[in-house]
Amino acid sequence: MREPKPDEVYVNVDERTGIATYHIANALPSTIKGLVCEDCGEPFIVINANCSYDEQKAAYKHEQKHILQDDFHSAATADELEKERH
């Protein structure tokens, strides 16, 4: 994965929950619209820069749901969680 440019890194604070997420637009394989991981306990969302704007918005909302539903602490695998969410 290439290093992000400074203007590709964003911070979002959900006004409803107060949860801050850091996200970055990056080139990912076409089958991956976005993903979420933790860095030092903070959620970090990666969005595929090759997707359309609408796909990026949908991917961001999807990844936020993983954060809000505390999927990091689930015993389920990522594949199981994706099946459950779709």
Decide if 44 is inside a domain.
yes
Torsion angle of the four alpha carbons 27, 29, 33, 36, in this order, in degrees rounded to the nearest 10: -80
Helix axis angle, 78-85 to 53-68, nearest 10°: 110
Decide if 22 is inside a domain.
yes
Domain span at 69:
6-85
Q: Taking the complete model, does pTM exceed 0.85, yes or no?
A: no
> Is a pLDDT exceeding 70 seen at residue 1?
no
Decide if 39 is inside a domain.
yes
Cα 62 from chain centroid? 7
Number of Cβ within 10 Å of residue 14's Cβ equals 12
Average pLDDT on 31-50 reads 82
Cα–Cα distance measured from residue 1 to residue 46, given in angstroms and rounded to the nearest whole number? 11
Decide if 1 is inside a domain.
no
How many folded domains does the chain comprise? 1
* Amino acid identity at 56: Q
Decide if 77 is inside a domain.
yes
pLDDT per position as a tens digit, 14-26: 777 777 676 677 7
